[in-house]
Amino acid sequence: MLRVIHLASELAPIAKVGGLADVVTGLSKELIAQGALVEVILPKYDCMLLDDVEDLHIEAYNIPSYLDGTWVSNTIWTGRVLGVRVYFIEAHNAHPFFERGTFYGCPDDITRFSYFARAALEWLHQSHRSIDILHLHDWQTALAAVLFWDIYQPLGLQIGRIVFTLHNMEHQGRGSTEDLSKIGLDGRKYLVYDKLADNDYPASINLAKGGIVYANAVTTVSPTYAREVQQDGGGHGLSTTLQIYAHKFSGIINGLDTQYWDPATDKFLTHHYTIDDPSTLSNKKLLKTSLQKRLGLHITDAPLVATISRLVPQKGVDLLEHALFHTLKLGGQFVLVGSSPITSIRDHFAALKAQFAHSGNVFIELMSHEELAHHVYAAADMFLVPSIFEPCGLTQLIAMRYGAIPIVRKTGGLSDTVTDFTYPADPSRQGNGFVFNDADTNAIEWALSRAFAWRHDQPAQWDALLAQAMRADNSWHTPAQAYLSLYNSLLNT
């Protein structure tokens, strides 16, 4: 049986900041369903939702890991999350790395996650584990590839092959040679172009680059994004490195955890529906009315346009704001659920929220709110994703499954998963949404206006579109097969 370990900084639903969390959980569950033995190693954050961890208990005490010329003790915990075995590393350093009340955003993030990578390998080594595939996710765990080949493989740790997945090239983990030295690597040795020296800032080390150079295979989360990041600019400084390693780089589209995201069974919904029984679709309408009541919106059949997103420049925040005004002009309602780590963006949307507080047609929630998100996906008629770039994007997949027609910009994984209803680029693909090319206000107005017109003028066609979107197979089944064949091909070479 293939033994796979994911090393990750997020895991849905217990430690989630964005799509990375959904991917690690969804992929793990499906790999298990397809016969692999899969486990996950995660930091033991104090802000995790421990209620969703079954049978949490201590696996090992006093596992020492190197930090700053000394050895720090770790406790290893274990439990099950949605059926997946997870190990949690609790670090006992002076200002404990994972007891900060937050997942990211500490001044010592580079050290926190470099330490995590080293402690994870140290524990695998000390517990004499033997695994086939170590799968690393994003810069937070990339250093494990370097640590394995340069420290732990010579010490006898048994790992067959290492896969590194880039979920978002915007975040690369830039640090200094001292950051590497802190966890026991000779920092200066890695500050060279063909190792970890940053391509744009050669005095810095770049952890994501280390993952690309040292892993046996590198993947990203959609075929189109894989092409985009190899082009100048798309790779946020790493395009040339990805071109050099093109032979081991590929894009595998993300899937959706279709058990968790299922309008037929969703535990957060008061009514359920499925496209397999169209008579249940009236429940979607009931959910729309109950959301309108809940959010203080007018009760109306006018199109409800929604977006659920981190509010950061990548997500096209200016376009989102423009879409709000255009939706109102077209007679629709607009609901936005978004959190932002950027104060100026948060303040800007807080002002918009205040401006429309009593309008009855706009609702803005500026926080992360899982239950509300489920209700919004179910209630919405249309769902906007105007990203400037989008590695894969999960919200458009969830929206389709919940019968909210996606309106997306043609970039990255949005381009791979949404096909325009009226202008399909590839006529063999059935339309399941609306797509626009340019990141400007004209383009988003055009797409929104087309969607409104179709819904109003062609109700039968709209129902056909709804059925196509809801029936789209975006499960993990096929992507997990692709990962399994990648793992097996690596082990056979």
Among 281, 373, 439, 464, binds ligand ADP (CB under 6 A): 373
Integer Cα distance of 185 and 177 in angstroms? 9
Identify the sign of the CA torsion 194, 196, 198, 201.
negative
Residue 339 near ligand ADP by CB under 6 A: yes
Q: Which of the ranges 50-58, 72-80, 128-136, 393-401 carries the binding residues for ligand ADP, by CB under 6 A?
A: 393-401
Indicate the pairing of strand 70-81 with strand 84-91: antiparallel
- Considering the rule CB under 6 A, would residue 26 count as an interface residue with ligand ADP? no
Query: Closer to ligand ADP at the Cβ: 157 or 208?
Result: 208
18 binds ligand ADP (CB under 6 A): yes
Q: Which residues contact 37 (CB under 8 A, 6 or more apart)?
A: 1, 2, 3, 4
CB of 373 to ligand ADP, least distance (A): 4
Q: Which of the ranges 272-280, 349-357, 364-372, 458-466 carries the binding residues for ligand ADP, by CB under 6 A? A: 364-372
Does 369 help bind ligand ADP (rule: CB under 6 A)?
yes
Q: Which of 227, 236, 310, 348 binds ligand ADP (CB under 6 A)?
A: 310
Chosen residue from 393, 406, 412, 433 binding ligand ADP by CB under 6 A: 393
CB of 21 to ligand ADP, least distance (A): 8
Q: CB 305 → ligand ADP: shortest distance, Å?
A: 16
Instruction: Region of 237 please: left (phi>0), alpha (psi -120 to 50) or beta.
Output: left
Interface mask (CB under 6 A) for ligand ADP, residues 260-299, using x and -? ----------------------------------------
Segment interacting with ligand ADP, rule: CB under 6 A, options 14-22, 30-38, 435-443, 464-472: 14-22
Give the integer Cα–Cα distance in Å for 402 and 141: 33
- Is residue 4 close enough to count as binding ligand ADP by CB under 6 A? no
Distance CA 125, CA 407 (A): 48
Among the listed residues 172, 309, 361, 417, the single contact to ligand ADP using CB under 6 A = 309
With H, G, I as helix, E, B as strand and everything else as coil, classify residue 296: coil
Residue 395 interacts with ligand ADP (CB under 6 A): yes or no: yes
Beta carbon nearer to ligand ADP, 111 or 474: 474
CB of 337 to ligand ADP, least distance (A): 5
- What's the 3-state SS for 189-244? HHCCCCCCECCCCCCCEEHHHHHHHHCCEEEECCHHHHHHCCCCCCCCCCHHHHHH
Annotate 163-191 with DSSP letters as a single string.
Answer: EEEES-TT---EE-HHHHHHTTS-HHHH-
Distance CA 368, CA 340 (A): 9
Tokens of 350: 């807080």
Instruction: Please give the full DSSP string across 45-94, using - where no structure is assigned.
Output: -TTS-GGG-EEEEEEEEEEEEEETTEEEEEEEEEEEETTEEEEEEEE-SS
Q: What is the CA radius of gyration of the chain?
A: 23
22 sits near ligand ADP (criterion: CB under 6 A): yes
Binding of ligand ADP by 433 (CB under 6 A): no
Read off the amino acid at residue 104.
Answer: Y
Question: Is residue 259 near ligand ADP by the rule CB under 6 A?
Answer: no
Scanning 110-118, 142-150, 388-396, 456-464 for contacts with ligand ADP by CB under 6 A, the matching segment is 388-396
**Interface contacts to ligand ADP, rule CB under 6 A:** 18-20, 22, 308-310, 337-339, 368-370, 373, 392-395, 398
